[in-house]
Structure 1
Amino acid sequence: MNDTTNHAINDTIIKVSRNTDIAPQNLLSTQTVAFSHYNYISAQLPVNITTGDLVANDIKVQAAQCLKNIKTIVASIDHDMNDVIKINIFLKNIEDIKDIDTIYPAFFQGYLPTRTVIAVAALPMDDALVQMDAVISNGEGTYPQAPVELVKVPKNNEQVPKDSVSPHTIAFSHYNNISAQLPVDIETGKLVAGGVKEQTQQCLQNIEAILESIDVPLQEIVKVN
């Protein structure tokens, strides 16, 4: 495994960038970069680790390969899939998420990570149907952050529409990671009427309800996708 440590100019902020030879590598991105108490895993295509070729043109097979590649990278830095906080899934056909959900939970133990699913027009390889990236917890910390216990707190708000394959929020270290919210009315469980303004308002109301359930004000959001 190639292991490099990058230092900021002032030599007080350290990022740990790592590649493993037993997972697909990309010349333009590192497989994993740790900073503070998180590790960020580059998006993985459904490429066979041994051959470097795209696996069969089947959404379940391709999704499983993406998760296997993430699992291999995570294991190479002495973590496991139980440390995954967030998964982003990029799909050519958004309907394929139904098939992915039949194999997805088996890759995790205990709780499932928060999740965002996005439809895209194309992926870096022509016959790729799916790509996934991940964020994992990093108990070791990077200097000057001291090591912390890997205690993660998943929660759901019963008043907000739930997804069987992702909790509303997972807290670790000083952050809460919120699963993507669709414009579903909290009371009826149906998509709200109207256009993009009404749907945007409903998404934000759902996020606000989740935050209120963990005693966090909307003003403490640091990033919205």
Structure 2
Amino acid sequence: MSSDNVRLVDSHAHNRPFSHASIVGPWIFTKGTAGYNPETGQFPLDIREQTAQCMKNLANILKECDATFADVVKVNVYLVDVGDYDAMNEVYLQAMGGHKPARCCVGVPALPSKNENMKIEMIAYKEGRSKE
């Protein structure tokens, strides 16, 4: 596949070595997204608040790709403390509005940023996108 078939999307300016999403035909791959609040520059300490911010960040990334959570087909969740699963899941389910794509949740020993306790990445499929 040539790079002409891939569109990279950045939902806001940053100096990091990655894009917020990659679009290949009808497929959208988001980066692993955390509960980082771009307005404050901080991670909320509460896992519910961090999950809510993460889902807001993902909704914004998908919007930049002309997609929504309804287009998501696969989700990977990474938790530093698997004891946070129920709280994360409660917020996640509310944000997804009843849409239940395939999902994997794994415990990890650490994530790159201080106070980063969870991360979510999504794969979405947007019908008709390959005709662009």
1:51 matched to 2:40? The reply is yes
For 2:23, the equivalent position in structure 1 comes to 34
Unaligned runs of 5+ in 1: 1-6, 148-225
Give secondary structure in 2 for the equivalent of 1:131.
strand
For 1:196, the equivalent position in structure 2 comes to none
TM-score normalised according to structure 2 size: 0.89
Measured in 1, the distance between the counterparts of 2:16 and 2:38 equals 16
For 1:177, the equivalent position in structure 2 comes to none
Larger Rg: 1
Following TM superposition, by how much is the alpha carbon of 1:78 offset from its aligned partner in structure 2, in angstroms? 1.7
What is the root-mean-square deviation of aligned Cα atoms in Å?
2.0
Structure having the larger proportion of residues in helix: 2
Higher relative contact order (CA 8 A, sep 6+): 2
Residues 49-78 of structure 1 deviation map (CA, whole Å, 9 limit, x = unaligned): 2222222x1111111111110011111222
For 1:197, the equivalent position in structure 2 comes to none
Letter in 1 for 2:77: I
Give secondary structure in 1 for the equivalent of 2:31.
strand
Following TM superposition, by how much is the alpha carbon of 1:104 offset from its aligned partner in structure 2, in angstroms? 1.4
For 2:49, the equivalent position in structure 1 comes to 61
Residues 89-125 of structure 1 deviation map (CA, whole Å, 9 limit, x = unaligned): 1011112111112211111234211110011011011
Letter in 1 for 2:64: S
Residues 151-204 of structure 1 deviation map (CA, whole Å, 9 limit, x = unaligned): xxxxxxxxxxxxxxxxxxxxxxxxxxxxxxxxxxxxxxxxxxxxxxxxxxxxxx
Following TM superposition, by how much is the alpha carbon of 1:16 offset from its aligned partner in structure 2, in angstroms? 0.9
| 1:31/1:42 contact within 8 Å kept | yes
Unaligned runs of 5+ in 2: none
% same residue: 21
For 1:188, the equivalent position in structure 2 comes to none
Residues 131-154 of structure 1 deviation map (CA, whole Å, 9 limit, x = unaligned): 111111122434xxx37xxxxxxx
For 2:92, the equivalent position in structure 1 comes to 104
Measured in 2, the distance between the counterparts of 1:110 and 1:118 equals 22
Give secondary structure in 2 for the equivalent of 1:122.
coil
For 1:77, the equivalent position in structure 2 comes to 65
